[in-house]
Amino acid sequence: MPIHVPPFPFPPNPPSWYAGHMAVFINDLPKILSTTSIVLEARDARLPLTSVNPAFETALQRYWANAHLEGKERIVVYTKRDLAERRYEEPLKRAFEKYTGQKLMFVDTSKPGDIRRILAAVTEVAKEHEDVHRRGELLVVGMPNVGKSTLLNALRNSGVHKGKAFRTSTTAGLTRKFTSHVKILEKPEIYVSDTPGVMVPYLGRGTAGSEKGMKLAVTSGIKENLYDAELLAAYLIHILPLKTKMPFDLPHPYADFFSATETSFSSPISVERPHFLATLAERLGRLKKGGIPDTASTAVWLIDWFRKGGAGRWTSDFEDVGGVKGVDEGVKMWVEAGMGVIGDEGGSQNQEKKKRMAERLQKRVERWKRLHGDRAGTTS
């Protein structure tokens, strides 16, 4: 019988991180796409749905409506393959092609074979449309810290055997400027452009938006200081499977909640996991004066341990549909819900606030009319 974990007590409102350089790039995207022949969209294999930015989909549909006739194509690449569960790859390929028409590729940028496959796909597209485009212009887009710059450096090294041309970092938001015309292949001529990682303007309201933000936070896909480290550590513990080998072989904090006859919780779990973090702090020697465990710095250590693969391979986004067996259903539901678009316009947090204020004002007007009837708007 499956174990049912209760909902995590998410903060009520997710933070917003839509920096100025992101807005500038999105505004410039139509012009950039007009001179681009190949778009390579990078996503995080650990978050197959959460790491999709609907802004790119909207832009391609709007400004690349006749892409095939113009010899333009998109390639979707899931990076960080070395940190994700391989068993999800084939179901995801089938589901995305079935419901979106997108053909997916998965890459571990440290594996030359994976890089050669990506380069071969790009080369094939460039050769196929040489009669339309004198040289291939490759644009790489994606959410923050999905590994765009690392992928580009690997492609450049494989194609022209040259070193790094793009700065990389484990922190989201390093690339802030559009960098163009770096050659990655001689024949056919292919030049690449790196772009800043672009976050969605607004993650959404309620639990869905909060969970999306926290998933991005634990995988370093959003600005570091938007979440408290101990809150993130609590969420990380919540989403790690019970079979996960925890640091120093410590038992999973949720293991004590289960017995041979009990397979579900009767009440929500507290956001705090003080005992686990305190024990881990003692093992790490992270103590304050008086021998008090430093749970804050320990939480930072635990998150970093996870990001470096300490918990083993991990893939999320399909817990509610039964994991890997529910990928087809999960992708179908996601596509039917708009592929991550928030609201009718995918608007910003300010737009969402204005919408809620307008709704409250309308309710007040309707209530006043019910109380005063036809006297509304009249004077004596």
> Residues 98-155: pLDDT tens digits?
999 999 999 999 999 999 999 999 999 888 887 777 778 888 888 888 888 888 888 8
What confidence score (pLDDT) does residue 138 get?
A: 87
Please give the share of the chain, as a percent, with pLDDT higher than 70: 76
Q: How confident is the model at residue 203 (pLDDT cuts 50, 70, 90)?
A: confident
Domain spanning 206-333: CATH 1.10.1580.10: yes
- pLDDT tens digit sequence for 1-11: 444 556 788 88
Which range among 21-30, 138-147, 194-203 has the greatest average pLDDT? 138-147
Q: Residue 229: which residues within 8 A CB-CB, separation 6 or more?
A: 296, 299, 300, 303
The pLDDT mean for the chain works out to 79
Stretch (H or E) spanning 79: strand 73-79
Q: Residue 225: which residues within 8 A CB-CB, separation 6 or more?
A: none
Distance separating alpha carbons of residues 193 and 136, to the nearest angstrom: 11
- The CATH-assigned architecture of domain 20-194 is 3-Layer(aba) Sandwich (3.40)
pLDDT at 292 over 60: yes
- pLDDT tens digit sequence for 238-288: 888 888 889 998 888 877 665 433 444 444 444 445 688 999 999 999 999
> Could you state, in order of their start, the residue ranges of all structural domains in the chain?
20-194, 206-333, 343-373
pLDDT at 213 over 80: yes
What confidence score (pLDDT) does residue 262 get?
A: 44
Instruction: Say which residue, 298 or 2, is predicted with more confidence.
Output: 298
Distance separating alpha carbons of residues 143 and 124, to the nearest angstrom: 26
What average pLDDT does range 175-192 have in this prediction?
73
